[in-house]
Amino acid sequence: MFPIREGFMISGALFTLGVIGVLARRNLLFVLMSIEVMLNAAGMAFVVAGARWRQPDGQVMFLFILAMAAAEVSVGLALVLELYHQFKTLDTDAISRMRG
Amino acid sequence: MTIVFYTASAVAIIATILMLTRANAVHALLDLIVSLLAVAVIFFVLGAPFVAALEVIIYAGAIMVLFVFVVMLLNLGEPATRAERALLRPSMWIVPSVFAAILLAEFIWLLVSGDVPPSAVAGIEAKETGMALFGQYLIGVELASMLLLGGLVAAYHLGWRKVPQTEATHVSHP
């Protein structure tokens, strides 16, 4: 018995939690962490599907998502540092306008 | 086998909910790390040990260390110091510790029971993944390396401190 439905349900639940975090939190660090949760949930769906059909493609896709997450988080955290130096806050509402 | 799967899933979801409801960034990071470790256990149970190891090394290791560094660099002053003091109270770290202990117990149980990879699932080994990765997905590997290079250059550029005003006249802006 393979828990594929449960795997997809957990992946969906984690993704939903990430969406809630992006929408509800106002701290840039928490927004980035929620994006990490969403990427991880998407990768988990790939791995579950790959395990279900016994193909390595799902794991390959997870590796690509991993590389993408690493690139995204390095740029995102550099932006967070830069924004904090300029505005002295991490509140997304304070920096919602394009020209400061 | 299924009990391990469901326990790890419950730990993942509860730790993620805890992460979303923390006020302090360091507490949220602890819960997020536990969530990622739980997902790694799920991968292991699903017969993907290679991806489980990468999840621990890269996600829970490298990426979370980046977050910790940024939280340290931001150094939010007196509130951060008070939060640090609060972090040392047992009530703050007991929940992530309990969850991590559950995951460790599951992992040890899996290893001791000798059911690795789980007999319910035929595992996909690292060899197969590597063959696919450097075979039909070779162009994807190249694109990922270019993406990482772009991320490196962008992070370097964003982290570049401006030269002070007196020297700025002599130093040409790149």
Distances from the Cα of B35 to the Cαs of B14, B17, B23, B122, B134, in angstroms?
Answer: 8, 9, 17, 25, 30
CB contact under 8 Å between B140 and A51, yes or no, is no
- In angstroms, the separation between the Cα of residue B89 and the nearest Cα of chain A is 23
**Assembly ipTM:** 0.90
In a domain, B63, yes or no: yes
Task: Give the total number of structural domains in chain B.
Answer: 2
Check if A25 contacts B (Cβ < 8 Å): yes
| B13 in the same domain as B79 | yes
Note the pLDDT of residue A64.
94
The range of the structural domain enclosing residue B146 comes to 122-158
Note the pLDDT of residue A52.
85
In a domain, B108, yes or no: no
Check if A7 contacts B (Cβ < 8 Å): yes
Distances from the Cα of B46 to the Cαs of A36, B6, B51, B70, B91, in angstroms?
Answer: 21, 12, 10, 34, 33
Check if B25 contacts A (Cβ < 8 Å): yes
Note the pLDDT of residue B88.
67
In a domain, B170, yes or no: no
Helices (H) and strands (E) in chain A, counts: 3, 0
B65: which chain A residues are within 8 Å (Cβ-Cβ)? none
d(Cα B116, Cα B53) in Å, to the nearest integer? 14
**CATH number of the domain to which B75 belongs:** 1.20.120.1200
Residue of A nearest to B134 (CA): A60
| B127 in the same domain as B86 | no
| B84 in the same domain as B145 | no
Instruction: State the best of B17, B24, B42 to mutate against chain A, taking most chain A CBs within 10 Å.
Output: B42
Higher per-residue pLDDT: A87 or A69: A69
Contact A32, A96 (CB under 8 A): no
B59: which chain A residues are within 8 Å (Cβ-Cβ)? 36, 40, 66, 69
Check if A51 contacts B (Cβ < 8 Å): yes
| B71 in the same domain as B16 | yes
Among residues B14, B50, B27, the alpha carbon closest in space to that of A14 is found at B14
Higher per-residue pLDDT: B38 or A92: B38
Note the pLDDT of residue A87.
81
- Total-model pTM: 0.83
- Residue ranges of chain B with pLDDT lower than 70? 1, 75-88, 114-122, 162-174
| B71 in the same domain as B128 | no
